[in-house]
Structure 1
Amino acid sequence: MSIKSAVATLTGKSSYWFLHNVLKGGSSFPGKIAEKIDPAVLKHLAAGYEVIIVTGTNGKTLTTSLIVKVLSQQYDNILTNPTGSNMTQGIVTAFLAHRSMRQPKKLAILEVDEANVAPICRYIKPKAFVLTNIFRDQMDRYGEIYTTYQKILDGIKLAPEATVIMNGDAPIFASQDIPNPKIYYGFQTTPGTRDLKARVNTDGVLCPRCNHILHYHELTYANLGDYFCPNCGFHRPKLDQIITKVNDMTPTSSTFTIADQPITINIGGMYNIYNALAAYTVGNFYHLAPDKIRQGFAYDEKVFGRQEVITMGDKKITLILVKNPVGLNQVLDLLKTEKHDFSLGVLLNANYADGIDTSWIWDGDFEGLPKDKIKAYLAGGERSDDIDFRLKVANVPEAKLVHVQGMEPVLGELKKMPTQQIYVLATYTAMLQLRKAMANEKLIKTGF
């Protein structure tokens, strides 16, 4: 280790201790300081770790958490970045914060922002990449989906020996050939004889070889499924790990079958079944027995802002992060599985971490909300005017809709909601602001 790396590591660890023991927060600042002293400090910190990088548009945080839970059945003391601080400084902070134990194999399971895969792979050579999906997201930052995928590929090309574990139902992941070993996961719950098309406003449904519209034998959601091109023959690759049946879905759980193995996870939504399948595939990659993988899924621990349930008096608030049209529509579909009356809050910000363009809310199917079950609505956040107008256009009854400016009045309005169950959909910085307000009222331990 060089003197520069040693100084950077000591300074970063000291700042982390101070921030978390005195100021009670800070998930990226220690890494920023360490990188300022030694831009290559990550190479030193990651030495000796077997690294898995999890990236993609939606599902990174939960997939990372599920992989950690699964691999924890066999390996101790796994390093990860649970707060979702997934850029280089956040990754450096995760290494600075970790207390490594003496063990035969040290694992690091890292959620990584798509644009940061290449910068991180300059210093880390991962054992595997896990690719969840690529959807339109933060256009001001990422551009179109193929631009986003290229950012990931730039990182993968720096580690040609790493295995790429990817969603086989996403056409974009088969759009370019890569030399790496490949493992595909996906759905096959029907015989595969149908001929379907995705909805007309769906992204990524053109064949990457001939630009013909893709067809599907099976569609799960958005552009994911058993795709094929009737014009040039491009089709989904052979799957290695398969969901063969979806048995039941509720807002709080999903039951499905993988290779004749019944699996239950304590979180709802079709998109989260994909996340679980990715984690199952990683467990299989590490030769864990199916029973051990199931034990890893048995934990009922909600991930930061991903269907996190917070009790406020007699009310239960389910906080769900939304950040792009596909993810939003999956959450809106999840609400349709709720059997009881509930209230709904939508908090919209447009800061850099959210994406400054809010036009994506118009691609959300608010018109399809189960309005007979929703007894009250709240529109809030820094862009509350935008989401208030969107809900009104979706024929949300104005008599049931409360419009609040900013974040301060939100908790007070949630307390007035007429139902015990409240769902709050929030963009990233709006979620942080709400959690900070909840922490100030001692509803949760910390806002971050």
Structure 2
Amino acid sequence: MKLKSRIAKFTGKLSYWFLHNILKGGTSFPGKIAMKIDPKILNTLANDYETIIVTGTNGKTMTTALIVESLREKYGDVLTNPSGSNMQQGIVTAFLAHRDQAASRKIAVLEVDEANVKLVTELLHPSCFVLTNIFRDQMDRYGEIYTTYEKILDGIKLEPKATVIANGDASIFSSVDLPNPKIFYGFNLPSDQAENNLIAPVNTDGVLCPQCNHILHFHDRIYANLGDFFCPNCDYQRPQLTYSVNQIIKQSPNHLKFQMGTKEYNINIGGTYNIYNALAAYAVARYFGLSDDEVASAFAKNKRVFGRQELINYADKEIDLILVKNPVGLDEVLHLLNTEKEDYSLVTLLNANHADGIDTSWIWDGQFEELHQSQIKKIIVGGQRWHDMSFRLEVAGFNPAQMTTCKTDNDVIAQLAKLPTKKVYILSTYTALLSLRKSMADKNIIQAGM
């Protein structure tokens, strides 16, 4: 190891220790310091690791967590970035923070921001890319979905021998012919495919055939642009799936049971979108030699992760903290809420900082009108753009008298204790989620961030 790299590694580790033992936080600053000293320190830190990059618009954090839990069943210690700090400096910090433990194979599973795939790939040389989906998200940062995919492709093309494990139900992932080995996963639910000829709603992104620009149709559409697609005008269709879910047995806000092959799997989290995340993790686990029983055992152990249906107990309330950041993800969370059987209170926190996307118009694409309003007994609206969300909910048909406006996190926390229901769902954008968690940690309601 070069002297510059040694100094960068030592300084980064020291800053991480200070931040986490003295100041109680910091997920990317140690990486920034190390990269200032040695811009290529990631290459040194990751040199002897087999690296899996997980990227896409939605589901990166949960997919990464499920992959890590699965691989630990067979290989023991696995390095990862659990806080969701997924840009280059956050990934460097993950390596600096990791303490090597017993492992039969050195593996790093890393969530990577779509726009950072090329930067990270240049230094890590991953053996595997995992692609979840691509939806319209933060237009000011990513642009249209095709621009986002180009950013990912720029990284994949640097490693033509790396295996690509992609969501086969997303037509964009088979639109470019890559030399890489490929594994596709998706849904194969029971249906008469010869009869089904479905079309996505008119405002759905990513449903143009990449060969002839005709509108894609579906034998079965799971949600948004995901499903068993085909072009009625040419021969473009969903690729052959290696792994698939063939039955959804049970869904609730806090539990999923589904079948792959002849085996049933359980995860302690809700939402159809999380079945895709589990399926991606299953495909990676099988690629790395795990058995179905080992994967099932890992899935059954899965824990709530940072801000992704994270469960918080406070003031005799069961609070689900859920990140929302784009129309497709929001709609899937709203569908999840409609599987709730009990009355609940709803909290919405809307910010518009750079990390959230500065344009909040996406909340108008979310189908708040479809919520079962009779179950929602109280609403708290907060965040920097509380007025935008309050107006959106009013237009969706919610009574303004049912809403309480909170302009600070402390106000939100105080109002949580007064809510009339035991169950509470908080839907929050990224920086509002971080801010609320910090305020809760300061009050010892939860532990400080990762």
Q: Answer whether contact 2:78 2:103 (CA < 8 A) is retained.
A: no
Mapped partners of 1:180, 1:314: distance in 2: 52
In the alignment, which residue of structure 2 is the partner of 1:303? Answer: 305
Query: Structure 2 matches for 1:213-232, cutoff 5 A?
Result: 213-232=215-234
Percent identity over the alignment is 59
Q: Answer whether contact 1:382 1:407 (CA < 8 A) is retained.
A: no
In the alignment, which residue of structure 2 is the partner of 1:242? Answer: 244
Matched, 1:276 2:270: no
Unaligned runs of 5+ in 1: none
In the alignment, which residue of structure 2 is the partner of 1:92? Answer: 92
In the alignment, which residue of structure 2 is the partner of 1:342? Answer: 344
In the alignment, which residue of structure 2 is the partner of 1:51? Answer: 51
Mapped partners of 1:209, 1:386: distance in 2: 40
Q: Answer whether contact 1:254 1:268 (CA < 8 A) is retained.
A: yes
Mapped partners of 1:104, 1:225: distance in 2: 37
- Runs (4+) off by over 6 Å: none
CA offset at residue 343 of structure 1?
Answer: 0.5
Mapped partners of 2:305, 2:103: distance in 1: 27
Return the letter of the residue paired with 1:269: G
In the alignment, which residue of structure 1 is the partner of 2:77? Answer: 77
1:253-310 CA-partner distances (Å, limit 9, x unpaired): 1111001110111000000000000001111101211000100101141000111110
Q: Answer whether contact 1:72 1:78 (CA < 8 A) is retained.
A: yes
Mapped partners of 1:150, 1:241: distance in 2: 25
Q: Answer whether contact 2:138 2:358 (CA < 8 A) is retained.
A: yes
Matched, 1:377 2:375: no
Return the letter of the residue paired with 2:448: T
Q: Answer whether contact 2:265 2:300 (CA < 8 A) is retained.
A: no
Return the letter of the residue paired with 2:333: V
CA offset at residue 103 of structure 1?
Answer: 4.3
1:160-213 CA-partner distances (Å, limit 9, x unpaired): 100000000001101111110000000010232200011111111111121111
Q: Answer whether contact 1:255 1:263 (CA < 8 A) is retained.
A: yes
Q: Structure 1 stretch 74-83 or stretch 401-410: which is displaced more?
A: 401-410
- Helix, strand or coil at the partner of 1:72: helix
In the alignment, which residue of structure 1 is the partner of 2:186? Answer: 186
In the alignment, which residue of structure 2 is the partner of 1:331? Answer: 333
In the alignment, which residue of structure 1 is the partner of 2:445? Answer: 443
Matched, 1:127 2:132: no
Q: Structure 1 stretch 45-54 or stretch 199-208: which is displaced more?
A: 199-208
Mapped partners of 1:358, 1:204: distance in 2: 21
Q: Answer whether contact 1:438 1:447 (CA < 8 A) is retained.
A: no
Return the letter of the residue paired with 1:56: G
CA offset at residue 379 of structure 1?
Answer: 1.1
Q: Structure 1 stretch 112-121 or stretch 97-106: which is displaced more?
A: 97-106
Could you tell me the TM-score, scaled by structure 1's length?
0.99
1:232-270 CA-partner distances (Å, limit 9, x unpaired): 221000000010001110000111100111011100000
Mapped partners of 1:208, 1:430: distance in 2: 37
In the alignment, which residue of structure 2 is the partner of 1:67? Answer: 67
Return the letter of the residue paired with 1:230: P
CA offset at residue 334 of structure 1?
Answer: 0.1
Mapped partners of 2:443, 2:261: distance in 1: 46
In the alignment, which residue of structure 2 is the partner of 1:412? Answer: 414
CA offset at residue 87 of structure 1?
Answer: 0.2
Number of residue pairs the alignment of both structures matches = 448
- Helix, strand or coil at the partner of 2:409: coil
Return the letter of the residue paired with 1:197: I
Mapped partners of 1:101, 1:401: distance in 2: 50
1:64-112 CA-partner distances (Å, limit 9, x unpaired): 0000000110011110000000000000000111112464420000000
- Helix, strand or coil at the partner of 2:245: strand
Mapped partners of 1:102, 1:254: distance in 2: 32
Mapped partners of 2:252, 2:348: distance in 1: 21
- Helix, strand or coil at the partner of 2:73: coil
Mapped partners of 2:229, 2:32: distance in 1: 43
- Helix, strand or coil at the partner of 1:255: strand
Q: Answer whether contact 1:437 1:447 (CA < 8 A) is retained.
A: no
Mapped partners of 2:76, 2:339: distance in 1: 37
1:298-345 CA-partner distances (Å, limit 9, x unpaired): 114100011111011211111000000000000000000000000101
In the alignment, which residue of structure 2 is the partner of 1:11? Answer: 11
Mapped partners of 1:403, 1:105: distance in 2: 51
